Chain A
Amino acid sequence: MDGATEPIDRSANTDMNATQGAPCPWHAADRLCIMWRVLDSLKAPNEELVMASLTLFDKIWESHIVRVEPDGTTLLYIDRQLVHEVTSPQAFEGLKLAGRRARRAAATLAVPDHNVPTTDRKLAIADPISAKQIQTLEDNCRDFGITLYGMNDIRQGIVHVIGPEQGFTLPGTTIVCGDSHTSTHGAFGALAFGIGTSEVEHVLATQCLIQKRPKTMEIRVDGTLSDRCSAKDIVLAIIGKIGTAGGTGYVIEYTGSAIRALSMEGRMTLCNMSIEGGARAGMVAPDEKTIAYIKGRPLAPKGDLFEQAVKAWHELKTDPQARHDVTVTLRAEDIAPQVSWGTNPGMVLGVDQNVPDPRTISDENTKHATERALEYMGLIPNMPITDIRIDKVFIGSCTNSRIEDLRLAASLAKGKKVSKAVHAMVVPGSGLIKQQAEAEGLDRVFLDAGFEWREAGCSMCLAMNADVLQPGERCASTSNRNFEGRQGAGGRTHLVSPAMAVAAAIEGHFVDIRTWT
């Protein structure tokens, strides 16, 4: 049965959300879907015929529809899948048990990252269970013909760093990975989202996923950021505003002059943390920066194919008349350097503020959650954020471990010394970033200032390897989650930007990076 011609239950489909862009009942190529939009708008009473107006999300979604069930459930084509060692073994096992192959091994890229040591790679992995998981990934990639950047490959790194770095991540594509921070790739104008292991298996076997169409949320940030404030501060401020479930059921499109002004690295930081606001995906429409970043990368299209692709990528933007389901706005000028004080990323404040006081909170749920978070974090109500002293600093993770992050961190660390009370480490996002940083002498700057300089991996973002906080230890971290125990049982995490992390490492407590010298 061909999805383009197969009859489906029109009665169930034609009434559904008629003016909100119901999926095309022919679930065929883009052209037909746009026609469906026009026909749909004709049906709505008192509405003039206007050209179909689509959001960036609509354009990507509709160009990936394989078929639609009567209730709107969609079989969505997946262009690319990234695979890592932690969420894939059971998926490969499932394929083997069912005697299934990988439908498009050539559209799949694998790398170990979560569980790899960031110390000398020539030594065997001390933890035999970690070693077995990494070996299992190698075995599976060999058996299914999937490209793997192994632990000693210079291209190895965090899965969400190497996808863009290699030119695997491209605008207009659907990208999935068994990791919630897959939202990172949305920085390129891709629809990228995290999935569970069963869905990893589903995509390996079919190159498709069964999905419900999400709603869209526009988050518009206009204006100019304060000196030394960054994408990390924007996204933490957004999560502080919408909450950790504010984006549930939505795909976010980030717009506005402050977003346009961000580098590709900044946009990746921003989209990376969409999931911390509950949204599975976040995206930024591609522009010349996007195209310049991609050009010449090893897996990016070349020559005529590249020119053809660029032409298509220029169409990837939300049409002027298109409407999102919700719009949230922020002013960049209002965003102070952010520091999380609690046990989820929504518990965040500007560095110039005080830790909340549960006694002043009327909502019972928020009050209890605040009390519990303060107790876990060992903080006193009303204390200034700048009085919080720290034990560790972690600069790294899929949020903030790219070359731009390291350059900025090194520029602030240059000629300074890490506080005697602090243990600080820098973990580059990939082997190639490490190499680049070393070529620029950034490693010397960090080492001279008293930071450790490590091999690439997820490291202390989730502490699956040996990089772990001890109970009660307090860390200024450029990562993305401050959940209880995230960086080690009993560990206390404060999420900050790389600039804020460096200043905290040197002073031993948080400082306002805008005025710090």
Chain B
Amino acid sequence: MQAFTQLTGLVAPLDRVNVDTDQIIPKQFLKTIKRTGLREGLFFDWRKNKDGSPDPDFFLNQARYQGATILLTRDNFGSGSSREHAPWALLDQGFRCVIAPSFADIFYNNCFQNGILPVVLKADEVLSLMKDVIGTEGYRLTVDLGDQRVTTPDGTTYRFDVDPFRKDCLYRGLDSIGLTLQHEAAITAYERRRKQDAPWLFTDIR
């Protein structure tokens, strides 16, 4: 997994609440057996008009947001399905950070598995940033995971929280399976105890 330490990048605004994973990437793109190449599915139905032509009002179709690496959005981003295709599609488009007042649990978790930092800021901070991003062409933010700060071009900083363990894994780009496998002895010991307490869970279902 790619580490995330500090990122300064162009910000793209998605000024909507409750953006669900069916919108981030619709089902027809879930038939793939790969993690890559999902960019074309990102916000697929919102990018187009009813006649199939690109909707010039949608941010991904606007020249000023090309190359954006930070997505600024609203409450409850990533609700619905557990599809990891959602963060894969965001990553394929170049997003490494999503800022919102709140996230759905599974999506939030999936971001950390893919080198994307989800940042929770207060609702009024996001609203203020949203205004600035939409009003200022080329608006960039600096997101520092080490300091847990988002810094605006005028030097204003917003602090955000992140669990120390998740932070460490993302900061160092650690393979979480590798980490867990370091506790192989503890897992085996647990299984031994559990097998005594609940032997019916250890019958082979095959």
Contact = CB atoms under 8 A, between A and B. Distances in A.
A389 to B, nearest CB: 21
Contact of B186 (A66, A105, A483): A66
Interface string B35-63: 10000000001000010000000000000
A180 B79 CA distance: 10
Given A87-B83, A205-B177, A198 B26 contact: no
Contacts of B179: 210
Given A180-B81, A306-B200, A464-B31, A105 B177 contact: no
B80 A180 contact: yes
Interface in B147-201: 163-166, 176-177, 179-181, 183, 185-187, 189-191, 193-194, 197-201
Contacts of A172: 198
B206 A106 contact: yes
Interface stretch (B4-12, B65-73, B102-110, B136-144): B102-110
A369 B198 contact: no
Interface stretch (A68-76, A253-261, A328-336): A68-76
A245 interface: yes
Contacts of B165: 69, 71, 73, 210
A489 B45 contact: yes
B109 A3 contact: no
A67 B186 contact: yes
A69 B176 CA distance: 14
A189 to B, nearest CB: 14
B176 A210 contact: yes
A381 interface: no
A485 B45 contact: yes
B92 interface: no
B203 A180 contact: no
A409 interface: no
A130 to B, nearest CB: 6
Contacts of B200: 170, 301, 305-306, 308-309
Interface in B106-131: 106, 109-110, 113-114
Given A90-B34, A130-B31, A180-B106, A344 B79 contact: yes
A309 B26 CA distance: 42
Interface string A52-74: 00000000000100110111010
Interface residues of A, number: 88
A194 interface: yes
B84 A87 contact: yes
Interface in A88-106: 89-90, 93, 98, 100, 105-106
**Looking at A6, A28, A194, A196, which has the most chain B CB atoms within 10 Å of its CB?**
A196
B113 A198 contact: yes
A306 B200 CA distance: 7
B104 A3 contact: no
A129 interface: yes
A418 B54 CA distance: 39
B22 A481 contact: yes
A133 interface: yes
A136 B31 CA distance: 11
B33 A89 contact: yes
A178 interface: yes
Contacts of A463: 27
B187 A208 contact: yes
Nearest to B206: A147
A475 to B, nearest CB: 15
Interface residues of B, number: 62
Contacts of A486: 22
Nearest to A114: B30
A16 to B, nearest CB: 12
A297 to B, nearest CB: 11
B38 to A, nearest CB: 11
A115 B31 CA distance: 8
Contact of B30 (A29, A30, A86): A86
A196 B180 contact: no
Interface in B63-101: 74-76, 79-84, 87
Contact of A202 (B50, B177, B185, B199): B177
Contact of A196 (B103, B109, B189): B109
**Looking at B18, B23, B32, B166, which has the most chain A CB atoms within 10 Å of its CB?**
B18
Given A170-B201, A212-B163, A305-B203, A66 B187 contact: yes
Contacts of A66: 183, 186-187, 190
Contacts of B163: 71, 73, 212
A198 B110 contact: yes
A437 B36 CA distance: 42
Interface in A297-321: 299, 301, 305-306, 308-309, 312
A196 B198 contact: no
Nearest to B194: A77
B82 A248 contact: no
Contacts of A280: 105-106
Contacts of A86: 30-31, 83
Given A1-B185, A106-B206, A245-B75, A178 B18 contact: no
B177 A3 contact: no
B31 A129 contact: yes
A4 B82 contact: no
Contact of A147 (B30, B32, B176, B205): B205
Interface string A409-429: 000000000000000000000
B194 to A, nearest CB: 7
A30 B197 CA distance: 10
A6 B114 contact: no
Contacts of B190: 3, 66, 77
Contacts of A3: 183, 185-187, 189-190
19 contacts: A4-B193, A30-B197, A63-B194, A75-B180, A86-B83, A90-B35, A93-B33, A106-B204, A106-B206, A179-B81, A198-B110, A207-B187, A244-B79, A245-B18, A245-B79, A248-B105, A301-B200, A369-B18, A485-B26
Interface of B: 17-18, 20, 22-23, 26-28, 30-35, 45, 50, 74-76, 79-84, 87, 102-106, 109-110, 113-114, 163-166, 176-177, 179-181, 183, 185-187, 189-191, 193-194, 197-201, 203-206
Given A168-B205, A170-B200, A210-B180, 16 more contacts: A4-B189, A28-B193, A73-B164, A100-B177, A106-B204, A107-B201, A129-B32, A133-B33, A178-B84, A180-B81, A194-B82, A210-B176, A248-B104, A344-B20, A481-B81, A483-B80
4 closest pairs, A vs B, by CB? A3-B186, A301-B200, A89-B33, A198-B113
